[in-house]
Chain A
Amino acid sequence: MNSLSPELMLQLTMLVPVLALAGILLTGRSENVREAVSVIASLIVLALVIGLYSTFKAGIPVEVSWFEIMPGLSLSFRLEAMGMIFALVAGVLWLVTIFYAIGYMRSHHEENQTRFYACFALAIGSVFGVAFASNLFTLFIFYEVLTLSTYPLVTHAGTAEAKKGGRTYLGILLGTSIAFFLFAILGTYFVAGTLEFTQGGVFPAGTSVAVGGTLLVLFVFGVGKAAIMPFHRWLPAAMVAPTPVSALLHAVAVVKAGVFTLLKVGTFIFGLDFLNTLPTTDALLYLAGASVIIASLIAMRQDNFKKRLAYSTVSQLSYITAGMLLATDAGITGGAMHIAMHAFGKITLFFCAGAILVTLHKTDVSQLRGIGWQMPVTMAAFLIGTLSIIGLPPTGGSWSKWFLLSGALDADQMFIMGVLLLSSLLNIAYLLPIPILAFFPPADGVARPAIKEAPLPSLLALSFTALMCLVLFVFPQPLYELAASITN
């Protein structure tokens, strides 16, 4: 790997998935070859990302520029701490999800699997584009490619419900991105004259806070992938997709692209100092807080397993949005760490939900009582994932929550402190009963059912992510170092 220049490696993270896309389409006839292409591509990408990480740690700057459309408007990439975190998470979880998907898609006898894997590869490629983008324009392009490439995955089932979900998905994501996000980008370019991500922000001194505040509102609502209320509806709607899609894309790649964008915008476009002076920051912070609580309350009322997890994601995303809006170093650090922590936790929960669906064909929470005796490994993993989402030791989720809390304290935001604590309680209320009830004994007189676990590739995948939740508790250091280096 060392023989490759870091610049080339960075570009390859985007190109390899595109090549994989071509390979998948060409080898669509033979299932095994097609899946081999996916696995090999994801292995290469993982190796590339790790290679980039070691370059980054060595402190070598990596920059690539493709072309310039207009003065100051170029397609270019740069390696930077926050993008590195996102890329590492996406790189690791793509490989894991491919394994999971192979087990899931085959035992669920899904149709159009070639299109599925092809779109999946394209989506991942664009995630790396988002992660490494060195300016808002580049980020915006890959953000949109990500939306478009995931649409066929959402409507994969082809049913009327899937189409309806797909329309909501596309309508909200594309709608907000064009009406608000693009508008905010244009406004930023007009005011600041550049879209380059710059430490400390790009707005010249003396920019009116009214303009800045308006732009911030446009950004927060425009990045629909961050799913702040009232623009969250697309996420539950996207749950009609096959579970691997919900797991990787709608718990990790797509939604994290949203909050990642917001963190980037807050840190490198506005800059924390300017963010602090804006009149709308607090209002948006309260909205994010409200989003956390309301989404949790809705989640409690969802019996559909995946829908409940989706609302939980909405709630957790607003943690990160709030972390940005706190405009303190600890808030950014906590937000960035939460990208990774929540990713591992939530993907575990989705993997488990999918495993239950393919093995026992259960989709509702109320059907899960006593299921732990049939699927002990799955439900144990589920328990670990739950703890990480709640933010309890010994799981990684506790670290990011810690930093978010300390960020709230730094900013003197008692409201957000309260929200975070209340939200933990709500998480306990709607998530924890699932794994606990799963290990309740069956009703009297009914024999304990035999063990019937998920397909092996899927089982390995979900065990791995659950394990990662624990590992990240014990070894959070590398992640913390990355996250803490964002703001300086």
Chain B
Amino acid sequence: MIEHLSVLQVIIPLIAAPICLLLRKSQLAWAFATLVAFLTLAVSFALLSQVVQTGPVSYELGGWEAPWGIEYRVDMLNAPLLVLISAISSLALMASRTSIENEIPENRHTFFYIAWLLCMAGLLGITATGDAFNVFVFLEISSLATYTLIALGKDRRALWASFQYLVAGTIGATFILIGIGLMYVMTGTLNMADLAQRLPEVENTKTVFTAFAFLIVGVCMKLALFPLHLWLPNAYAFAPSIVTTFLAATATKVAVYVMIRFIFDVFGFEFSFTHFPLQEVLLTLGIAGIFVASVVAIYQDNLKRMLAYSSVAQVGYIILGISFASQTGIMATLLHMLNHGLMKGALFLALAAVVYRMGVAQLSQMHGIASRMPFTMAAFLIGGLSLIGVPLTVGFISKWYLVSAALENGWWPVAAVILLGSLLSVVYIWRVIEVAYFKPVSESTPDVKEAPAALLIPMWILVLANLYFGIETSLTVGVSEMAAADLFGGLR
């Protein structure tokens, strides 16, 4: 059993999806999907502890030895991400039954759970696999499921948003496929570890350069790096709230993971940062993303859209960490991937509760809402503080390491930029706090009650996680530190 863990991680949700179709009934499908999510969560924890204890876990699919067969490889880099994906998925599914009541028509509920499980399987697959082509396959599985999930949104604009994402996502995936194809042409292998060994022989060819460029641009499309982020705000704003929660906390992180894996493991640090102006490009785009997206976020009335732009800005921070090209930098990136998942999960769940009660999350209708929904808004407040990077929340920890990494490189201005970015997030978070807490309840405020416990419990689990991992950092920091050390110790 133990040796099959890494494949079970992916197979369980993948097989569960069609079973869901047989269940038909919404309630049953929900119970089953949630059970499956928690099962994968247990598996991911088991995997993480195994990786921490004994090092990387490798699995040969169907007994075919790598590099001929497909290899699943779980190490310090992806094990924490597997935990994040399954944890967020479990918590979001717990809340989903209530959340989709008002947002998705009853007869589509089963499809919703199927698409969800497929999406989850796809994301977990991308993360767990050690095979470059397999990455593409799972990418498509998760993307197609995501398009479906977004299109389920109640607002008719959800269809348009889904289509937009479909176009952008397909271009991205095609680029990735071209990149992988070119690499295969040059080396004759698709296994990542094998690629890493064979690429140096041919690394000075135009084909490999082209492969790298296609791959990176394609991934940047998926992870919504400014200015390739245009699909994201609409997708997040019009998707059902619970879907947004899941995607915002996990999907972009998985794309970042793919980027890190290819830059550091497959192509190697030397190749990536010497042959390409990767550092300059990522640094510039990261900073531009932080500023542009944060400023745009300040002017949004729809809060889901506001947080979507904030996500684009946060991707900027994550990419900034990569651009430092240092061990501390990559550690900050990994840390922020996990931490950002926690804070965005909490924030979007709070918005899901607002949408559940009010139908929309428009700031102009939320005057004094904190007196009607105190627990929800308190969760939003804490999540917001974490996003800003206030001490004792996870946001502070990631900012701390990001700034440390910048100072380590001697890049004082970049450190200043990171803090200025925090100031911008103060502005857009505080707008909400001011309206929700300090404006008197007005006529445009709907008469609503506090959200039901089904939403509050997962929300507050995430909020407490934001605080807990902001104080007790040994797990998250330790894991990221080891992963960063592995990346720099080098597989080659």
Given A67, A73, A155, which contacts B438 in the complex, CB threshold below 8 Å?
A155
Q: Are A186's CB and B471's CB within 8 A?
A: no
Known: A158-B440, A183-B415, A186-B403. A137 touches B477 (CB 8 A): no
Q: How far is the CA of A155 from the CA of B440 in the complex (A)?
A: 12
Does A429 interact with chain B (Cβ within 8 Å)? no
Q: Which residues of A contact B477 (CB under 8 A)?
A: 70
Known: A70-B477, A190-B404. A137 touches B391 (CB 8 A): yes
Q: Which residues of A contact B430 (CB under 8 A)?
A: 170
Q: Are B397's CB and A183's CB within 8 A?
A: no
Does A22 interact with chain B (Cβ within 8 Å)? no
Given B388, B407, B438, B471, which contacts A187 in the complex, CB threshold below 8 Å?
B407
Given B400, B416, B419, which contacts A70 in the complex, CB threshold below 8 Å?
B400
Q: How far is the CA of A198 from the CA of B327 in the complex (A)?
A: 31
Q: Are A186's CB and B407's CB within 8 A?
A: yes
Does A311 interact with chain B (Cβ within 8 Å)? no
Does B390 interact with chain A (Cβ within 8 Å)? yes
Do most interface residues of chain A lie in helix, strand or loop, or is the interface mixed? Answer: helix
Interface string of A417-459 (1 = CB under 8 A from B): 0000000000000000000000000000000000000000000
Given B390, B407, B419, which contacts A179 in the complex, CB threshold below 8 Å?
B419
- Chain A nearest Cβ from B88, distance in angstroms: 24
Q: Which residues of B contact A166 (CB under 8 A)?
A: 438
Does A282 interact with chain B (Cβ within 8 Å)? no
Does B292 interact with chain A (Cβ within 8 Å)? no
Does B426 interact with chain A (Cβ within 8 Å)? yes
Q: Which residues of A contact B419 (CB under 8 A)?
A: 178-179, 182-183
Q: How far is the CA of A152 from the CA of B426 in the complex (A)?
A: 17
Q: Which residues of B contact A67 (CB under 8 A)?
A: 471-472
Does A474 interact with chain B (Cβ within 8 Å)? no
Q: Are B400's CB and A186's CB within 8 A?
A: yes
Q: Are A178's CB and B426's CB within 8 A?
A: yes
Does B233 interact with chain A (Cβ within 8 Å)? no
Does A205 interact with chain B (Cβ within 8 Å)? no
Given A140, A144, A178, A189, which contacts B422 in the complex, CB threshold below 8 Å?
A178
Does B457 interact with chain A (Cβ within 8 Å)? no
Q: How far is the CA of A137 from the CA of B438 in the complex (A)?
A: 29
Q: Are B420's CB and A69's CB within 8 A?
A: no
- Chain B nearest Cβ from A78, distance in angstroms: 19
Q: Which residues of B contact A70 (CB under 8 A)?
A: 397, 400, 473, 477
Q: Which residue of chain A lies nearest to B427 when distances are taken between CB atoms in the complex?
A: A171
Q: Are B471's CB and A69's CB within 8 A?
A: yes
Q: Which residue of chain B lies nearest to A140 when distances are taken between CB atoms in the complex?
A: B391
Q: Are B403's CB and A179's CB within 8 A?
A: no
Q: How far is the CA of A182 from the CA of B390 in the complex (A)?
A: 10
Does A175 interact with chain B (Cβ within 8 Å)? yes
Q: Which residues of A contact B390 (CB under 8 A)?
A: 144
Does A387 interact with chain B (Cβ within 8 Å)? no
Interface residues of A in 148-202 (CB under 8 A from B): 152, 155, 158, 163, 166, 170, 174-175, 178-179, 182-183, 186-187, 189-190
Q: How far is the CA of A190 from the CA of B440 in the complex (A)?
A: 45
Q: Which residue of chain B lies nearest to A138 when distances are taken between CB atoms in the complex?
A: B391
Interface string of B397-437 (1 = CB under 8 A from A): 10010011001100000011001101100100010001000
- Chain B nearest Cβ from A448, distance in angstroms: 45
Q: Are B473's CB and A174's CB within 8 A?
A: no
Q: How far is the CA of A70 from the CA of B477 in the complex (A)?
A: 9
Does B392 interact with chain A (Cβ within 8 Å)? yes
- Chain B nearest Cβ from A410, distance in angstroms: 34
- Chain A nearest Cβ from B428, distance in angstroms: 13
Does A298 interact with chain B (Cβ within 8 Å)? no
Does A1 interact with chain B (Cβ within 8 Å)? no
Q: Which residue of chain B lies nearest to A155 when distances are taken between CB atoms in the complex?
A: B438
Given A183-B403, A186-B403, 19 further pairs, Cβ under 8 A? A69-B392, A69-B471, A70-B473, A70-B477, A140-B391, A141-B392, A152-B438, A158-B440, A175-B426, A178-B388, A178-B422, A179-B423, A183-B415, A183-B416, A183-B419, A186-B400, A186-B404, A187-B415, A189-B404
Across the A-B interface, the 4 shortest Cβ-Cβ residue pairs:
A190-B407, A141-B391, A186-B403, A183-B419
A residues apposed to B, CB below 8 Å: 67, 69-70, 73, 137, 140-141, 144, 152, 155, 158, 163, 166, 170, 174-175, 178-179, 182-183, 186-187, 189-190
Could you jot down 7 A-B contacts, CB within 8 Å? A70-B397, A137-B391, A141-B392, A174-B423, A178-B422, A179-B419, A187-B415
